[in-house]
């Protein structure tokens, strides 16, 4: 269990000392170090990167480049394989607009996917006529890999899946999925938004082709994220956003693209956001991903042990592997009502379909209430949650 002093890194709790924040799967809070790194850029060396032959611009370029290098090391990637984006959703849409797919191909997703990893592929299917297929779930909310073997074949162009379900906490067996896809010549795209701040990721070990995540889910700022791609795949892929800085040469009728990573970073980037994301990586590494994982899993077990008295667990059963997410339903209570009453006691949870509406329809439920954990959460937060659920039952009779 992490020391309680971790909470002191986060100014939100200075302003809201009684807050129990359990919506980390949606967005995490931001530590002082990230805010200070961004403030330093804005107050002491704000300038555009790459383009100015003067001291402020050179300092901004150095800080921006250093952030990319930190993130690359964090993933065990090369810096030129790390593309700054506005977030995971943007990265997935970039790939859906840039990768070559024809009507003869199929794309395989899972039943777990967030809208951001479903709708771009729906639209690509509509444009090209390619088939969408889905890996099914078993009765325990886990991916049914027998159906994966059936759906992924020689006509599969892409397999795009979440690493951890944001809605019900299911952990995808990425090693099996990637191996199966590669054996059929398909590329794999992984949405690591719910994994990046919770467990180590090494893009070389599992041979990732593409990976996306958002900074605001890993103690960083909003409006910044990462698209990782293998260098050879990035070099083969055409950009879909054009403008300044991504050009090698241009005349009035033709243009050629800059080398990686600039090829995919048209226009002025979110410089402060990138610097803040680099500081977020520093923060996570200072605490240690192994320590974070153990801390959150301890909180997860503690919650699930007490939950059955009040609510039904949705997703993987007690004892099964699960991300730092607990989705649940109180019998006869809409999840929105659960969240609204918990809010009266300064307990922040998520409620609804969690941008995974097809999954909720598939499970035949209206949505869930969801508690999700971060480094600053404590057993006392779980106690407050369980007490709050008792209050929900009491208030609603």
Q: 136-180 pLDDT, tens per residue?
A: 999 999 999 999 999 999 999 999 999 999 999 999 999 999 999
Q: What is the mean pLDDT of residues 207-211?
A: 98
pLDDT tens figures, 308-363? 888 999 999 999 999 999 999 999 999 999 999 999 999 999 999 999 999 999 99
Contact (Cβ atoms closer than 8 angstroms) between residue 334 and residue 312: no
Strand partners, 326: 371
Q: What is the mean pLDDT of residues 97-119?
A: 98
Q: Report the C-alpha gap between 112 and 353 in whole angstroms.
A: 12
Predicted pLDDT of residue 50 = 87
Q: Tell me how far the alpha carbon of residue 395 is from its chain's centroid.
A: 35
Query: Which residue in 355, 362, 365, 393 is the catalytic one?
Result: 355
pTM for this structure? 0.97
Q: Report the C-alpha gap between 68 and 265 in whole angstroms.
A: 13
Predicted pLDDT of residue 247 = 95
Q: Report the C-alpha gap between 336 and 340 in whole angstroms.
A: 6
Print the SS3 string covering the chain: CCCHHHHHHCCHHHHCCCCEECECCCCCCCCHHHHHHHHHHHHHCCCCCCCCCCHHHHHHHHHHHHHHHHHHHHHCCCHHHEEEECCHHHHHHHHHHHCCCCCCCEEEEECCCCHHHCHHHHHHHHHHCCEEEEECECCCCCECHHHHHHHCCCCEEEEEEECECCCCCCECCHHHHHHHHHHCCCEEEEECCCCCCCCCCCCCCCCCCEEEEEHHHCCCCCCCEEEEECHHHHHHCCCCCCCCCCEEEECCCCEEECCCCHHHCCCCCCHHHHHHHHHHHHHHHHHCHHHHHHHHHHHHHHHHHHHHHCCEEECCCCCCCCCCEEEEECCCCCHHHHHHHHHHCCEECEEECCCCHHHHHHHCCCCEEEEECCCCCCHHHHHHHHHHHHHHHHHCC
- Count of Cβ atoms closer than 10 Å to residue 390 Cβ: 12
Q: Report the C-alpha gap between 192 and 196 in whole angstroms.
A: 6
355 as an active site residue: the answer is yes
pLDDT at 261 over 90: yes
Binned at pLDDT 50, 70 and 90, residue 132 comes out as: very high
């Amino acid at each position: 269990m992490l020391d309680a002093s971790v909470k002191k890194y986060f100014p939100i709790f200075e302003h809201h000392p009684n807050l129990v924040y359990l919506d980390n799967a949606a967005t995490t809070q931001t530590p002082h170090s990230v805010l200070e790194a961004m403030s330093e850029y804005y107050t002491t060396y704000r300038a555009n990167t790459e383009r100015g032959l003067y001291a402020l611009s050179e300092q901004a370029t150095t800080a921006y480049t250093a952030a990319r290098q930190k993130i690359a090391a964090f993933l065990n990637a090369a810096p030129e394989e790390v593309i700054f984006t506005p977030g995971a959703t943007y990265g997935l849409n970039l790939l859906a607009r840039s990768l070559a797919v024809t009507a003869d191909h199929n794309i395989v997703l899972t039943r777990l996917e967030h809208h951001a990893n479903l709708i771009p592929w729906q639209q690509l299917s509509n444009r090209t006529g390619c088939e969408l297929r889905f890996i099914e779930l078993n009765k325990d909310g886990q991916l049914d890999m027998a159906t994966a073997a059936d759906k992924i074949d020689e006509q599969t162009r892409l397999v795009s899946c979440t690493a951890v379900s944001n809605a019900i906490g299911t952990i995808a067996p990425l090693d099996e999925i990637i191996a199966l896809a590669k054996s059929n010549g398909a590329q794999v795209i992984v949405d690591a938004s719910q994994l990046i701040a919770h467990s180590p990721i090494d893009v070389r070990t599992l041979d990732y082709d593409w990976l996306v995540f958002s900074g605001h889910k890993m103690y960083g700022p909003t409006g910044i994220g990462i698209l990782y791609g293998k260098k050879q795949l990035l070099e083969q892929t055409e950009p879909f956003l054009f403008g300044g800085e991504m050009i090698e040469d241009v005349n009035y009728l033709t243009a050629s693209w800059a080398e990686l990573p600039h090829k995919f970073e048209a226009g002025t980037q979110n410089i402060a956001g990138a610097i803040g994301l680099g500081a977020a990586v520093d923060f996570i590494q200072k605490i240690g991903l192994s320590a974070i994982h153990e801390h959150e899993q301890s909180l997860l077990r503690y919650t699930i042990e007490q939950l059955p008295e009040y609510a039904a667990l949705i997703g993987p059963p007690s004892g099964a592997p699960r991300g730092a997410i607990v989705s649940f339903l109180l019998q006869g209570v809409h999840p929105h009502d659960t969240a609204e009453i918990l809010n009266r006691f300064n307990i922040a949870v998520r409620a609804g379909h969690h941008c995974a509406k097809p999954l909720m329809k598939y499970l035949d439920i209206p949505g869930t209430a969801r508690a999700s954990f971060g480094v600053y959460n404590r057993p006392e937060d779980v106690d407050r949650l369980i007490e709050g659920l008792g209050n929900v039952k009491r208030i609603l009779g």
